[in-house]
Structure 1
Amino acid sequence: MKFTRRQILQSAAALSLLPIAARATPQVLEAREAIQRIAPQGFPETQVWSFDGTVPGAPIRVPQGSRVQRRLLNQLPQPTSVHWHGIRIDNAMDGVPGLTQDVVPTGGSFDYDFVVPDAGTYWYHAHNQSMEQVARGLSGPLIVDEANKPDVDQDLTLMLDDWRLDPETALIVDDFDNGHDLSHAGRLGNLVLVNGQFDPMFEVRRHERLRLRLINSSNARIFDVGLESLSGWIVALDGMPLEAPLPVTEAFPLAPAQRADLIVDVVAESEGTASLVSFERDGAFGLARFTIGEQNRDQGRQGIDPLPRNPLPELQDIDQAPVHRMVLQGGAMRWLESARIGDAELSGRELAQLGRFWALNGYAERPTDPFLDAQLGSVHRIEFVNETVFPHAMHLHGHHFRLVLEDGTLGPWRDTVLVDRGQTRQIALVVDNPGDWLLHCHMLGHAASGMMSWYKVS
């Protein structure tokens, strides 16, 4: 495609209007190998892939409405890219090789430059060979602060992840083409970490109020999160404030890529312990501990106000919006009889030989034509029909959407929806961000083995 003289002049004029600071050399975000202790004391250190030498990568924290500029420098043995998960971003900055940019080769670089329109809790992660690269450590938190922050004593970001390590060497188990993982629940680890640490501890006072920003950065694990000796509310999901804070009275699921902002009060006794816990089949396990010192904070705060709203589009007339059905197919116990890759219709056996075990609407690879070709500003509904025996975390790039509840009312804004086995879930969105956008399962092994599609906003 050739650029016209008019397009070049328009681009040059737009660039000349940017302030000098906006056109400064971006800060380097270096993807490289590193050594870090992530297993408990007594085990060896682990070789990881990192952003800037740490796992997770260093937090990127900016005010709402500001500009993020990072030059990705790839020093890894594989090509890579960065996706800025949950940000309603300019399409060229979305970080999807083959759809929005070229892959960044070893020794290469790419300049990311975008504005963050919404306050909230987001994250960034590799988006080439994601199942392997994210499992090796390539992710980090991206926090966008509100102009008017809630009244809390501490604001803590907690990235939840699980790692599959060899128990003898503490090295990452290199079995990313494991057919069992690809065709079942995905890559589940044998060590759960928070912020790259096993059983981390935070010092708090009794009656302190905390903001806990939970990010599930795992490949496939669904955390059922609960509180012990903490009392509070969910105030935002996937970065977007709830219209009314939701009291936490029981455990709640946090699927891969989903986030939840909690505001909690420490109600444990002095010199006791409060915990963030994960409920598993064989009991509850601590994710992070909060140790309470002797000094108490004065009691005085009651209840909680909603966080300020983000500038999301209004959803109107969803009853008249077209419904686009996406069927989730395949996997163990529901093996594909056949599915398409490009123009070819392949048998289930042929697909399995290629490592493809899943399909979306009969395609076991991102199809040539978009699942949805939508006009800018139009309203659409997508109905996810899960015909498999496994849950899937379906993620849309470039947009947030609202869940359509069983009674027809609208639920919270999300960018990733958990669709349980045999379940049908419907979402509604205004497609107000032009470009070609990925739509995929964020169980990254499922995406790698077939659950990948895309939609166009033009």
Structure 2
Amino acid sequence: MKLKFLSIFSIVTLFLAACSSAGSMGGMDHSKMGSTQEKETKTENTDNKTLPQTIESKTLTGKNINLVAEEANHQLNEKVNVAAWTFNRSVPGSQIRVKEGEKVNINLKNELPDPVTIHWHGIPLPNNMDGIPGVTQNAVQPGKSFTYKFTASVPGTYMYHTHQDGVNQLDKGLYGSFIVEPKTPTYDRDYSLMLDEWMSNPEEMEGMDMSGTEDMEGMDHSNMSGMEDNSNSKKDEKESTENDDSMAGHDMSNYDIFTINGKSGKEIKPLKVKEGEKVRIRLANIGYMSHKIHLHGHDFKVVAIDGQELNEPKTIKDQLISIAPGERYDIEFTADNPGKWYLECHGEMKGTDGMKTVIEYEGSKESNDQPNQSENLPVFNYTSYGKQTKGEFTSNQKFDVEYTMDLNTAMNGNEMVYTINDKVFPDTDNIEVDKGDLVKVKLVNNSKSDDHPMHLHGHFFQVLSKNGKPVEGSPILKDTVNLKPGDEYVVAFKADNPGNWLFHCHDLHHASAGMVNMVKYKGFEPDFKVDSDAGNKPE
């Protein structure tokens, strides 16, 4: 059963003015973290009687961590329960919190009926630990286990999620947050909020395919790790370029429940603070829609983006933080305005109203604050924020590799596909590099109505310019950049982590319908043998 469904890329206008949500971990204070009790989640609907109930998300620390992929009945709001796929029987899965420089061994046991993997979104690690089926490992079969080993070397806000048939599996709840704490924290209280979207009636879509085109669904991905650069492929010859005004994008209206940490509406717990504390809120978008988040009643700073700290961030107020799929934004504020204040998503989508929580001061019982999700507020712009300082790269320096990525929408017969330079994965042209190369990539979104949040595995890149205008404030290091229709970004990175690394749209509906390519290091050979019977599906 598919818990969330994209209506086979319906040719209708996509309204992207989405919002964010809050959930069961929303009330968890990580600054005073102890052992969290596992409380059974209340449910009203018993449609999934044979499944166990989800529990509240736990926080796992230490060198050795166990994650079990298993199915459970999960309550999204007062009315809707779904059969979720979970890590450790919670949505989100257990939060992993480790210290900067800590070596971790994370054992995945698969108790689901389908193969799975775990991708460590944004975390620098060896290629063979990246969790991409058919590219860095074989998918972990039902009843089997796999241990991921790496050093958490860069502090920041990250995520982990399945990368096996991700458009379907992640959509069922198979994800969690991963926090690498700095050696010297700058905050007193720390909350992590994962934003997502769900469907209220997934049963209506049962049996329908979310994964894009029929061609992609039946494609053999078993030889991905040894894939050659098919620059002369004729696949693109049967694809028509986007030239029909009626092809406005895909329909996301079936996603009508927006959640924070797996909960929506009244099920979301308040975020409790004490006057005088410095509070950090980590906002991570694991869904497929952008969400604009508004903090009421407080000045705040955006202190990190995609886990990377900004240089001397300035104080702002009543600006919307637009968080695209795959992105993370850390904000900090001083709790100096006692009462109860909303943290909410702005927009007009059906699920928007359910994506809000409350900043609640200890001892405060009442508040005059009101939601204002329809108010038109300025949107935060990171390209001119913080204090300018010298970054690693500049636009006019010499680069060893330069690559242009034309992102577009096309029709392949009756199916909508998403292309890179007029080709769909696995026939897209790889970015071939040598270790040590300095690489510049220009990304251009030529789709008429679809955003494309492009995520690079295994590397951070520096954003050099947006729409021809250089970044003016703090240097911006990211692993995911969101391109709205017509946008052009130039980014740069150093090829310092050998392997085969995906570079793909993190709206996984787009990725599964073709919008994927790879950064491939010349001479690199994977350390595993592809199993053609593993059912590897890296999209």
Shorter chain as denominator, the TM-score bin is: 0.7 to 0.9
Compared CA separation, residues 178 and 31, structure 1 to 2 (3 A)? closer
2:322 is equivalent to residue 263 of structure 1: no
2:402 aligns with 323
2:518 is equivalent to residue 447 of structure 1: no
Instruction: From 207, 210, 217, give the equivalent of 1:177.
Output: 210
Instruction: From 41, 52, 74, give the equivalent of 1:36.
Output: 74
Instruction: From 310, 317, 330, give the equivalent of 1:242.
Output: 310
1:281 aligns with 348
2:445 aligns with 386
Letter matched to residue 404 of structure 2:
R
2:140 is equivalent to residue 104 of structure 1: yes
SS of the equivalent of 1:446 reads helix
1:273·1:289 contact (CA, 8 Å) conserved in 2? yes
Instruction: From 493, 498, 505, give the equivalent of 1:434.
Output: 498
2:134 is equivalent to residue 74 of structure 1: no
Q: CA deviation at 1:289?
A: 1.0
Unaligned 5+ runs, structure 2: 1-61, 214-246, 366-390, 523-539
More displaced, 67-76 or 115-124? 67-76
2:426 is equivalent to residue 366 of structure 1: yes
SS of the equivalent of 2:405 reads strand
SS of the equivalent of 2:304 reads strand
2:264 is equivalent to residue 198 of structure 1: yes
Distance (whole Å) between structure 1 residues aligned to residue 343 and residue 128 of structure 2: 38
2:131 aligns with 95
1:413 aligns with 477
Where in structure 1 do 4 or more consecutive aligned residues deviate above 4 Å?
170-173, 178-183, 185-188, 282-286
Instruction: From 159, 184, 195, give the equivalent of 1:123.
Output: 159
1:183·1:358 contact (CA, 8 Å) conserved in 2? no
SS of the equivalent of 1:115 reads strand
1:315·1:379 contact (CA, 8 Å) conserved in 2? no
Distance (whole Å) between structure 2 residues aligned to residue 373 and residue 105 of structure 1: 31
1:299 aligns with none
Q: CA deviation at 1:417?
A: 0.1
Q: CA deviation at 1:45?
A: 3.2
More displaced, 359-368 or 179-188? 179-188
Q: CA deviation at 1:361?
A: 1.4
Letter matched to residue 197 of structure 2:
D
Distance (whole Å) between structure 2 residues aligned to residue 441 and residue 146 of structure 1: 29
1:205·1:293 contact (CA, 8 Å) conserved in 2? yes
1:163·1:172 contact (CA, 8 Å) conserved in 2? no
SS of the equivalent of 1:357 reads strand
2:417 is equivalent to residue 357 of structure 1: yes
2:306·2:479 contact (CA, 8 Å) conserved in 1? yes
Letter matched to residue 163 of structure 1:
W
RMSD, aligned CA: 2.8
More displaced, 403-412 or 128-137? 403-412
Distance (whole Å) between structure 2 residues aligned to residue 25 and residue 252 of structure 1: 34
Q: CA deviation at 1:316?
A: 6.4
Residues 76-123 of structure 1: CA distance to partner in whole angstroms, max 9, x if unpaired? 121111000001110000001111111112222211111111000001
2:395 is equivalent to residue 375 of structure 1: no
2:194 aligns with 159
Distance (whole Å) between structure 2 residues aligned to residue 187 and residue 364 of structure 1: 25
Distance (whole Å) between structure 2 residues aligned to residue 208 and residue 25 of structure 1: 30
SS of the equivalent of 2:311 reads strand
Distance (whole Å) between structure 2 residues aligned to residue 315 and residue 81 of structure 1: 34
Distance (whole Å) between structure 1 residues aligned to residue 359 and residue 435 of structure 2: 47
Aligned pairs, number: 391
Distance (whole Å) between structure 2 residues aligned to residue 367 and residue 178 of structure 1: 17
User: Could you tell me the percent identity over the aligned residues?
Assistant: 29
1:379·1:431 contact (CA, 8 Å) conserved in 2? yes
1:63 aligns with 99
Unaligned 5+ runs, structure 1: 1-23, 297-312, 337-347
Higher relative contact order (CA 8 A, sep 6+): 2
Q: CA deviation at 1:209?
A: 2.2
Residues 234-272 of structure 1: CA distance to partner in whole angstroms, max 9, x if unpaired? 00000010112243331121000100111112344x4x3
Residues 333-380 of structure 1: CA distance to partner in whole angstroms, max 9, x if unpaired? xx34xxxxxxxxxxx217x2xxx5111112212237x52111111111
Normalising by structure 2, report the TM-score: 0.68
Distance (whole Å) between structure 2 residues aligned to residue 179 and residue 127 of structure 1: 16
SS of the equivalent of 2:272 reads strand
Higher strand share: 1
1:230·1:275 contact (CA, 8 Å) conserved in 2? no
Distance (whole Å) between structure 2 residues aligned to residue 182 and residue 442 of structure 1: 19
Normalising by structure 1, report the TM-score: 0.79
Compared CA separation, residues 37 and 172, structure 1 to 2 (3 A)? farther
